Chain A
């Protein structure tokens, strides 16, 4: 398989280097695969996604996305990627249709294709009836759907999804999961997924990477990682690799109450 995302000692430090958001990341994601990046809060997942989308610049190292260098060919990288960011701001005074048209135009979707594609995406996400309502009146789940549609509006070969189902109801989450599967299996798109929801990662991802304190601590298939850590589930493997609280400590805070 052809490597589509290739990072070489990719690092992003803050301050005088004491905060290592991403530290010497070496990662390969292949064409057509669904890759999941897991990690606790503040591990460096979103920073990695921002680096690979040329939103921020690395402190050292580099990466190529679809053959384009993130340092020297930022515009080309942006053109071939779609991003559903973790906490993006919507243009709340635009309607869903206006917003998707706007995003499509920013990604140079030809004018003769754009209206039809916007219509199709709105129908796909069940937003067709509310297409002309301002986004400020949408629920969180509906806003997430609009953002997902915006990430796909230019039909990019690589899609970055940062917590795509976190605010969706079960039905919408199922639809998004099916969409990710179809994008990967039927449309041959490469998906880079960040999520805390381990069952989703297990179900959707061909391979996963676990990042902790900016460093990649494991890469492989789910069964590889479970086997390597002598665990029985991905959850156990994740805790093993990133650390957790021992069961005995969980009720320690009640000791004062128990004593009295």
Chain B
């Protein structure tokens, strides 16, 4: 009799490889070949390009503290992967099928883990390919490389297992209502922020320089010792210092990694019953009270007539979705991190520059709400008399009440934080970013009318996000290089307005004719 975990793993693997079904049978062999070529030839060739710098770095004091940090990042990313993927699309409905069958929850958990493992092994192999190639110039032996690969794979497998267990537990909790699924989507975006913060800190936060300080390096190393990733990192740094000899110090580190994997496996299996359950723990449904001051204000802006009600209703559907709010928080966090770690502005122009890269994304996120709630919701307006016009008018005003306002507030805060900023420059920059964000709002709405995206994972959504964001980034940088700071103000803002109005009109025409 086939083990249930194997059946589930097989089905999970089939689902994950459904897009390559025609070559699924040969996929493992093709992948094996590609990875072998990568590990044996491509990774060493890439490392070869920077051999001298990398050898110097690996033998430096910085590496002793940096390698555990790098490994910790890998460890956290492998925990983060399955959680984020689950949060983006919580599907608990399938659990009814599995729970009604004679299957132990442990089999479901193990099956899910093993089903996803082959694809993660590809990523692990790419990482290990680089790591082993990195140590070639130091004279690390093949047996040492085998120990490095083993410890690295064990560490990442532990992380993936922990991530899978947490994802399963969260899915059961968050998959029970549309509200909790909305919270999950918001969380998936919020979880990116700490990772971005760490990457920006490394890129512009002088972290490497601080690690070069022996005192700081030792302190960080001691803190990181509690993480299993540091045990694998310890093996790497030990081999880098002593190529050719494996040494007894490896034994406790490797044994510790294995014990950690076993321990996390044991705990995960014990939690499986909680991770797969159809029991409802709460029976509370979200209720709304009478409209507060904010919605009354929106109604007032809308003229307190039928358009006011339409605008208020659109705002309510937008604001009551955590996912939408998380986009605003995410964009503000991104702007703050870019300014703190990368731009470190002394005046307002760098703040304007980062905002000009980031706020097109918020404009797209706000505009996407128009179509992401489904074709039926979107097409509702086509049934209504003058529906297309009403939709556009409502969404433009709604967008303008969010995107330029957030952009303006962020700029106003920067005016306050950057010393020596005059009131005049503060007003000019705040006004400029408000105008720029307002233009992008109509551009994004036009994009979504031209090319409606009903699913965040679809190519339409990605293109609608990439085209205005990337396009404007290149345009802003080009204008800056060619015409200086004034070029950005006098050229970029009017052009984005013109393009935005054009695209919006084309979108209106397209949506009116859409069937």
Seen from chain A, the residues whose Cβ lies within 8 Å of a Cβ on chain B are 14-15, 19, 50, 53-57, 75-76, 78-79, 81, 83, 85, 87-91, 93-95, 98, 102-103, 105-108, 111, 134, 150
Contact = CB atoms under 8 A, between A and B. Distances in A.
9 contacts: A55-B99, A75-B102, A78-B101, A78-B102, A88-B96, A88-B97, A89-B93, A94-B18, A103-B97
B99 A91 contact: no
A89 B92 contact: yes
A150 B11 CA distance: 15
B86 to A, nearest CB: 14
A192 to B, nearest CB: 13
B280 A14 contact: yes
B242 interface: no
A105 B93 contact: no
Given A55-B100, A78-B101, A108-B1, A91 B15 contact: yes
A186 B99 CA distance: 29
B476 to A, nearest CB: 40
A183 to B, nearest CB: 18
Given A14-B280, A98-B11, A108-B1, A89 B91 contact: yes
B153 interface: no
Nearest to B278: A55
Contact of B100 (A57, A81, A102, A108): A81
Nearest to A14: B283
A19 B280 CA distance: 12
A71 to B, nearest CB: 14
A162 B2 CA distance: 30
B279 A90 contact: no
B4 interface: yes
B394 to A, nearest CB: 27
Contacts of A107: 101-102
A55 B101 CA distance: 9
A181 to B, nearest CB: 24
B456 to A, nearest CB: 16
Contacts of A56: 278-280
Contacts of A78: 100-103
A94 B100 contact: no
Q: Which 3 A-B pairs have the closest CB atoms?
A: A89-B93, A93-B15, A89-B94
A89 B101 contact: no
Contacts of B278: 50, 55-56
A105 B102 contact: no
Contact of B7 (A76, A89, A102): A102
A134 B97 contact: no
A93 B279 contact: no
A91 B100 contact: no
A25 B218 CA distance: 67
B94 A111 contact: no
Interface in B78-130: 91-104
Given A89-B93, A91-B15, A111-B2, A15 B283 contact: yes
A102 B93 contact: no
A85 to B, nearest CB: 5
A90 B21 CA distance: 18
B7 A105 contact: yes
Contacts of A83: 96, 100
B279 A106 contact: no
Contact of A19 (B1, B95, B283): B283
B344 interface: no
A108 B6 CA distance: 12
B96 A85 contact: yes
A94 B11 contact: yes
Contacts of A105: 2, 4, 7
Contacts of A93: 14-16, 18
A98 B21 CA distance: 12
Given A75-B102, A103-B101, A106-B103, A55 B96 contact: yes
B11 A79 contact: no
A94 B15 CA distance: 5
B18 A150 contact: no
Contacts of B94: 88-91
B25 to A, nearest CB: 14
A80 to B, nearest CB: 9
Interface in B391-449: none
Given A56-B280, A91-B94, A111-B2, 9 more contacts: A15-B283, A56-B278, A57-B279, A76-B102, A85-B97, A93-B14, A103-B101, A105-B4, A108-B102
Contacts of A57: 279
A56 B1 CA distance: 27
B66 to A, nearest CB: 40
Contacts of A111: 2
A134 B11 CA distance: 13
B11 to A, nearest CB: 4
A106 B2 CA distance: 9
Given A93-B18, A94-B14, A87 B93 contact: yes
A41 to B, nearest CB: 14
Contacts of B4: 105-106
Nearest to B94: A89
B93 A91 contact: no
A163 to B, nearest CB: 14
A83 B100 CA distance: 7
